[in-house]
């Protein structure tokens, strides 16, 4: 049935299905953590959002060169699983902190989580597209 909707050569179907599942997972994970980020970011009201977005900006200025260095230094087959495992470990750590820390400490964790979600989106989406650029040729669309 898939071949009726999209013209995919049989040799590329497996790669196409894996890439679709992977991207759905990346987007699904973001759409799960985004409302949590927004709720935690608004804990102290809208005046704190300006500070949070400034922190996001500064963090991205720092993280983009680090990400570029990692991509240029390590092979994809090593980098992709390491970064995704690192991001998963971060999510587990945030979850444990939010569950067990006192309310005052939770405010700091909420701010860090707000900024971290942006870094998560950058890394997970960029990794996906860099792999797809390597897997599929320009002719394959």
Residue 131 pLDDT: 86
Q: What is the mean pLDDT of residues 37-58?
A: 84
pLDDT for 139 beyond 70: no
Report CA-CA distances (Å) from 90 to 2, 63, 85, 113.
Answer: 36, 16, 9, 9
Q: For position 137, what pLDDT does the model report?
A: 67
pLDDT 10s digits, 102-112: 988 888 899 99
Report percent pLDDT > 90 for the chain. 50
Q: Which residue has 């971290």 as its token pair?
A: 116
Task: Provide the phi-psi class of 113: left if phi over 0, else alpha when psi is between -120 and 50, else beta.
Answer: alpha
Max alpha carbon distance in the chain (Å)? 56
**How many C-beta neighbours within 10 Å does residue 94 have?**
19
Q: Is the dihedral of CA 114, 118, 123, 127 positive or negative?
A: positive
Cβ neighbours around 134 below 10 Å, total: 9
The pLDDT tens digits of the residues spanning 76-100 come to 889 999 999 999 999 999 999 999 9
Tell me, what's the pLDDT at 46? 64
Report yes or no: 117 and 34 within 8 Å, Cβ to Cβ.
yes
Read off the pLDDT of each residue in 51-78 and give the average, rounded to a whole number: 93
45: left (phi over 0), alpha (psi -120 to 50) or beta: left
Q: Quickly state the pLDDT bin for 138 (edges 50, 70, 90).
A: low
* Boundaries of every domain in the chain: 36-140
- pLDDT for res 7: 72
Give the per-residue pLDDT at 89.
Answer: 96
30 CB contacts (<8 Å, ≥6 apart)?
117, 120, 121, 124, 125
More confident residue, 48 or 21: 21
Write down the pLDDT at residue 10: 73
Note the pTM of the prediction, 2 decimals. 0.82
> Going by C-beta distance under 8 Å and a sequence separation of 6 or more, which residues neighbour residue 119?
59, 60, 63
């Amino acid at each position: 049935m898939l071949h009726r909707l999209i013209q995919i050569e049989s040799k590329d179907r497996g790669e196409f299905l894996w890439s679709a599942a992977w991207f759905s997972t990346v987007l699904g994970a973001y759409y799960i953590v985004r409302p949590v980020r927004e709720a935690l970011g608004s804990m102290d009201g809208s005046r704190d959002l300006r500070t949070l977005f400034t922190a996001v900006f500064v963090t991205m200025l720092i993280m983009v060169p680090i990400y570029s260095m990692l991509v240029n230094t390590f092979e994809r087959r090593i980098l992709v699983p390491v970064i995704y495992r690192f991001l998963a470990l971060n999510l587990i750590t945030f979850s444990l902190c939010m569950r067990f820390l006192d309310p005052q400490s939770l405010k700091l964790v909420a701010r860090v989580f707000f900024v971290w979600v942006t870094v998560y989106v950058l890394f997970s989406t960029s990794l996906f597209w860099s792999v797809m650029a390597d897997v599929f040729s320009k002719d394959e669309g």
